[in-house]
Amino acid sequence: MKRGKKYRAVLERFDREKLYDLVSAVDLVKEAATAGFDETVELAIRLGVDPRKADQIVRGTLTLPEGTGRTARVIAFAAGDAAAEAREAGADAVGADDLVARIEGGFLDFDVAIATPDLMGQVGKLGRVLGPRGLMPNPKTGTVTTDVGRAVAEFKGGRVEYRTDRVGNVHVRVGKVSFDRGRIVRNVVAVVDELVRAKPAAAKGRYLRSVTLSSTMGPGVRVDPLRVRLTEEELAASA
């Protein structure tokens, strides 16, 4: 792929193998974002876990302090009063058997799926479709709940889900390149703090193996795992 002059100039100013402090990495990611749209900033962290073992899967949700910069597309498997609550909270699609059939027919234009416990029997039919895409509702992430309205509102408002992939990587959107440096830094620190909090007791050795920041079309910038958790004073200084 042919890259523009600005992109190439940024590449010349930093070492792809160097480990940067978090603030410097955010600055480089913003400078390298040369696409003609507001690129998403992505955080990728390699954890020292073996996700093949059930007791080492890291999974959950958190609300980013600065939001993601986009409104998530949320659907809800719900009926009756719960369905009404989901619609009122802004769900993009609400239903029960009809929504299951719609997804079986190819509808996958959403980021989060929420379900009430009583409908998980029907939703379970979609395991082969939703599971590989990380979209299957799960109590551990708050996407199987009786409080559907609250869940829809939280995910529409910036709550994100995280989960280790097959090799122990976690990928989370942490903002847009239009965010100022401080907003991205605060979101990154929030994700790292959450992952450390969720560290499995069975995980041994170094937990934060590698940390990389990038924009949608930009190069990855490596962050020093030992310098990615900031104090309140450092967070204030990053603004």
pLDDT in tens, 117-153: 999 999 999 999 998 888 999 998 889 999 999 999 9
The Cα 146–Cα 83 span in angstroms is 11
**pLDDT tens per residue across span 51-88:** 999 999 998 889 899 988 888 899 999 999 999 999 99
Q: In the CATH hierarchy, which fold is given to the domain comprising 74-156? A: Rossmann fold (3.40.50)
Task: Provide the pLDDT for residue 141.
Answer: 87
Q: Residue 93 above 80 pLDDT? A: yes
Domain boundaries, the chain: 12-68+160-238, 74-156
The two three-digit tokens of residue 74, written as one number: 């949320």
pTM over 0.85: no
Predicted confidence (pLDDT) at residue 39 exceeds the cutoff of 70? yes
Asked if residues 168 and 51 have their Cβ atoms less than 8 Å apart, the reply is yes
Burial of 218 (0-12, 13-18, 19+ CB in 10 A): buried
Residue type, 29: V
CATH number of the domain at 12-68+160-238, please? 3.30.190.20
Mean pLDDT confidence for 41-58: 94
**Residue ranges of the alpha helices (H) in the chain?**
5-13, 22-32, 80-88, 97-104, 120-123, 127-130, 148-156, 181-197, 232-238
pLDDT at 230: 73
SS3 of 50, please? coil
- Mean pLDDT on 191-197: 94
CA nearest neighbour of 143 among 109, 108, 115 = 115
